[in-house]
Amino acid sequence: MFVISGGRPLCGVVSASGSKNAALPIMAASLVCSGQLRLSRVPDVVDVHSLRKLLATLGVRSTITADEPGGMTLEATSQKHHVAGYELVRKMRAGICVLGPLLASRGHARVSLPGGCNIGHRPIDLHLRGLSALGADLRVENGYVVAEADRLRGAEVNLAGPHGSTVTGTCNIMTAAALASGRTVITSAACEPEVIDLGHCLNRMGGNISGLGTPVIEIDGVDQLAGATHEVIPDRIETGTLLIAAAITGGDVTVLDARADHLVQTTNLLQHLGVCVQLPSSSGDAHRGTCEIRARANGRIRAAHVVAGPYPGVPTDLQAQLMALLCIAHGSSTVVDRVFPDRFLHAAELMRLGARIHRRGDSAVIDGVARLGGANVMAGDLRASAALVLAGLAAEGHTEIRRIYHLDRGYEQLETKLNGLGARITRTDDTPEPGSPHWRRQRRTASTT
């Protein structure tokens, strides 16, 4: 549980960590790598460690290397396992990222269907469509995807779904196609920076991939992929979250080691909302392509109509955080999420902090209030947790956020970073809510000791 004492501006300098959503498919690519994959800037988050455990059951040894921040080395030491079990995949949907590489490198795969989660229906039909186009025999039985393929064959694969393309689906197909015989053309491919980063890493392993960042990716399969060294891109969602933290608290925050080119529509939106955003070009590390981004509140936030969509649009993973910001805007705003149309579970919790939000069709309508007030709230998913932290930072008084294990899945030491900017967040044991089963159990134990 977090206990936040809110109402003070965040000011100072903070660094972005490596991207969770780039690191996960890149770690899964260790399954198709016949040497050592040496990564840097892998974030220390729960999902990364869950994937390490899953990869270990598949014969991939991974070690944290201390020689550079976020250093990790992965090496597939045995090829005989091919089952990604329910126990580990249910904890982390991104376990589906091992399906393509496992099938391509071992000829068969048995991967538990990923669990659902609070942001909406999470099908994998596009993943399966793509792999069967590459020649895999696929069936779903007893909650597992069972896939067989002696050698995948290059093909034309379309990954368009009802809500755009699929990020992890594009990663699965691209990684599998890298070892297929012949050319694969993925149309309606996802253009997210995390997909581009995986493609760059596969090319460093000897892959032959072009068109990254466009809806048409071409992959000429090779017989083997060698070891490589790769630095994971900065996390654009964490960066956006930190910039919004400055805006929502009336502060002034500079994020270092960021990629402004991965957040163009988000920084444009923040400027449209009245936030002063500076993108000094000279101070960046040109060789690594990183720069610093500064966000400074400049009077009351303006209301706006926000649409979250596929890249390069405003990312769905920042939608909840932006909704938190709009809660204190001057006027009425609307938010639509074109990727996960029902990703609004955070609205109810924000309303406990005094926000005024209601649904109108596929939109959430937010009538801005002058101040939020501290309250007890509960996190429901990774990005909703971040939205509640931001709202708690802005709210007058104390806010308690339970179930912040959601946050730990995807943010590296968020409270340490925010406290370094002047926040007052304490991580403490989740005191059970009176009357809850946990509370009754605790009282029973207390009465017997």
Rule CB under 6 A: is residue 76 a binding residue for ligand EPZ? no
From the list 75-83, 125-133, 208-216, 297-305, the region that binds ligand EPZ by CB under 6 A is: 125-133
Q: Which of 11, 33, 117, 191 is catalytic?
A: 117
Query: Closest CB to ligand EPZ among 182 and 313?
Result: 313
β strands within 297-379, DSSP E: 305-308, 332-337, 356-360, 363-367, 376-378
Evaluate whether 129 touches 163 at the Cβ level (below 8 Å): no
Rule CB under 6 A: is residue 175 a binding residue for ligand EPZ? no
Query: Does residue 365 sit in helix, strand or coil?
Result: strand
382, 384, 407, 414: which one contacts ligand EPZ (CB under 6 A)? 382
User: What sign for the dihedral angle of Cα 189, 190, 196, 198?
Assistant: negative
From the list 162-170, 243-251, 300-308, 392-400, the region that binds ligand EPZ by CB under 6 A is: 162-170
Q: Which of residues 252-311 bind ligand EPZ (CB under 6 A)?
A: none
From the list 117-125, 258-266, 358-366, 395-403, the region that binds ligand EPZ by CB under 6 A is: 117-125
β strands within 270-391, DSSP E: 276-278, 291-296, 305-308, 332-337, 356-360, 363-367, 376-378
15, 21, 30, 241: which one contacts ligand EPZ (CB under 6 A)? 21
From the list 137-145, 164-172, 270-278, 349-357, the region that binds ligand EPZ by CB under 6 A is: 164-172
Q: Which residues pair with 147 in a beta bridge?
A: 109, 138
Backbone angles phi, psi at 346, to 5 degrees: -70, -20
316, 333, 385, 399: which one contacts ligand EPZ (CB under 6 A)? 316
Q: Which residues contact 425 (CB under 8 A, 6 or more apart)?
A: 2, 3, 4, 389, 393, 415, 418, 419
Evaluate whether 127 touches 113 at the Cβ level (below 8 Å): no
Q: How far apart are CA 99 and CA 172, in angstroms?
A: 7
Evaluate whether 16 touches 3 at the Cβ level (below 8 Å): no
13, 116, 121, 261: which one contacts ligand EPZ (CB under 6 A)? 121
90, 163, 204, 371: which one contacts ligand EPZ (CB under 6 A)? 163
How many Cβ atoms sit within 10 Å of the Cβ of residue 74? Answer: 25
- Size of the residue set binding ligand EPZ (CB under 6 A): 27
Give the containing element (helix H, strand E) for 58: none
Backbone angles phi, psi at 232, to 5 degrees: -70, 145
For the bound state, the minimum distance from the C-beta of residue 235 to ligand EPZ, rounded and expressed in Å, comes to 9
Rule CB under 6 A: is residue 239 a binding residue for ligand EPZ? no
Query: Does residue 289 sit in helix, strand or coil?
Result: coil
Rule CB under 6 A: is residue 383 a binding residue for ligand EPZ? yes
From the list 26-34, 123-131, 198-206, 297-305, the region that binds ligand EPZ by CB under 6 A is: 123-131
Verify whether residue 171 is a known catalytic residue: no
Rule CB under 6 A: is residue 94 a binding residue for ligand EPZ? yes
Rule CB under 6 A: is residue 169 a binding residue for ligand EPZ? yes
Q: Please give the positions annotated as active site.
A: 117
Q: Provide the binding-site residues for ligand EPZ, judged by CB under 6 A.
A: 21, 24, 94, 119, 121-127, 161-164, 166-169, 194, 316-317, 339-340, 382-383, 410
